[in-house]
Amino acid sequence: MKATYHKHILQFKRPSGTSRGVLKTKETWFLILKASGKVGIGECGLLRGLSIDDRPDYEETLKWVCDHIDKGETQLLDALTEFPSIQFGIETAFQSLRANTPFELFPTYFTNNKAPIPINGLIWMGDKAFMRAQIVEKIEQGFSCIKMKIGAIDFQTELELLRYIRSEFDASAIELRVDANGAFQPSEALEKLTQLAAYNLHSIEQPIQQGQWEAMAQLCEKTPLPIALDEELIGVYSEEKKEQLLTSIQPQYIILKPSLIGGFQASDTWIRLAEARSIGWWITSALESNVGLNAISQYTYTKNSKLPQGLGTGSLYTNNIPSPLHVAHGNLYYKQEGNWDFNKIM
């Protein structure tokens, strides 16, 4: 077996605002396996400033993986606990190599284009006019679930945007989620959640910075609005630590980003532990190219979740990998007539 890696800089069609700043590019890495005339491809979706494995030795570690690929999937995964995005790339590359075709990792009704995956429409941060324009666009595109990033502009302005949506569409027509990306201070968070709850929101993601288990537990106990842990899961490696986190905080939901938490095996563990505690969950991509998004989407369909998932990021880039993935009417489809373009990444 031969393994190589390839760096790819994704270019945003328009700068995308988060509470950590404005994104114009996104660095990603492809792991390519070749054996017995077959090809497998995985994406190591690194998010600078957020991924726990955003380290100076990242590329050196990818080279080590390629040099030691004959160790096999299990040994490599065990050796790379501190590199969750590389674990995700290894898992998907080996699954791709085993598959009948490199990009149909988990054949289901989804990959046969017989069943789509419901997804949320994502509203990026910006000034009021820009965010309102996005909201109108997503509603016109047929989304029944909208996720709005908050925490970067004036909070009262964000409440006005939510008020605008609710003046036009009640909760039975549009499900609203908000993502604070840890922007609130613990001392102010409960008051802000109380104000947000007036707009019949489905949930809020990560209201305060991760790592404050006691403060988050108090919030989850008192909140008038369901809380979903997101960044909180990053860097929690062992099953024992995962159990401690869920038992201590008792969130209403957790959000799984395979590139940030160690791939599908880690996601399976989180799901099992969450369901044992009656904690809900859904799965979200983390700005991967269509290669990673494809793997996450196919995995997600096998989990039979009924909630809208966070998988609508494939159209963000000018130089994404052409693929059969297609968003329409608030759903993600795998169009069989669509083609993958290997030339973009090989």
Enumerate the active-site residues.
Answer: 149, 257
**What angle (nearest 5°) sits at the alpha carbon of residue 271, between those of residues 270 and 273?**
65
CA dist., res. 136 & res. 229, Å (int): 28
- Is the alpha carbon torsion for 57, 60, 65, 71 positive or negative? negative
CA dist., res. 70 & res. 62, Å (int): 14
**What angle (nearest 5°) sits at the alpha carbon of residue 208, between those of residues 202 and 209?**
130
Q: 273-281 long-range contacts, Cβ below 8 Å, gap at least 24? A: 273/239, 273/242, 273/243, 273/246, 274/246, 277/246, 277/247, 277/250, 279/246, 279/250, 279/251, 279/252, 279/253, 279/254, 280/252, 280/253, 280/254, 280/307, 281/253, 281/254, 281/255, 281/256, 281/305
Q: What is the DSSP letter of 233?
A: G
Q: What is the DSSP letter of 178?
A: E
Burial code of 166-189, b = ≥16 C-beta within 10 A, e = fewer? beebeeeebbbbbbbbbbbeeeeb
